[in-house]
Amino acid sequence: MKKVIFWLFALPALLLLRMPQAWAHCPLCTIAVGSAAASASYYGFDPSLIGLMLGAFGISTGLWFALVIERRYGAKVPFQKSVLTVSSLLLTVMPLLYINNDMLYLPILLGGEPGTLLNKVYWIPKMLFGSAFGALLTIIAYWTHVRIKAVRGKVLFPYQGVALTVMALGLGWLGLYFIV
């Protein structure tokens, strides 16, 4: 029995020691965003704020996974990075949408007859709205990071990708906190 318990703990440790180093984009982004979402849920923040972090977590995880696969095996499938990133987002956010049923009131009153597409009141789940917003902010931060590296040939400072992502999400968090 002692040998079984020993190998249950020793085998995963040995496998971790044999892993090659990964030069991925977002392991720190992923950890930071996941921790923020869990903390927000624990302290009772609005579901749109939790959704913001969940959307960012889904995109960060997808980008991280896509870059690891691309570096290790190459891009063998068309749109491989996009498909993996969107799949990660959907598999992260969709199962969690029904945890909270709070809705966001969104009136679109731009013109036309009442009840038409541009003159209607929409009710959107707060978690879905926050997730879409968080995913968008993370993609913009990642694109900015990649663009700076392409133009300058190097990053401006260490952990630039993490800093840009956390800054974008922090500003988005403040905006949603005071608006919603």
pTM of the predicted protein model: 0.75
The string of pLDDT tens digits covering residues 104-162 is 988 888 888 888 888 898 999 999 999 999 999 999 999 999 999 999 988 889 889 98
Residue 131 CA to residue 59 CA, distance in Å, equals 10
Domain residue extents for the chain: 25-99+128-179
pLDDT at 30 over 80: no
DSSP-based three-state secondary structure for 110? coil
Residue 74 CA to residue 29 CA, distance in Å, equals 23
The string of pLDDT tens digits covering residues 57-76 is 899 889 888 888 888 888 77
Question: Could you tell me how many helices (H) and strands (E) the chain has, helices first?
Answer: 6, 2
Element containing residue 108 per DSSP (H, E) = strand 103-109
Provide, rounded to the nearest whole percent, the portion of the chain with pLDDT above 70: 82
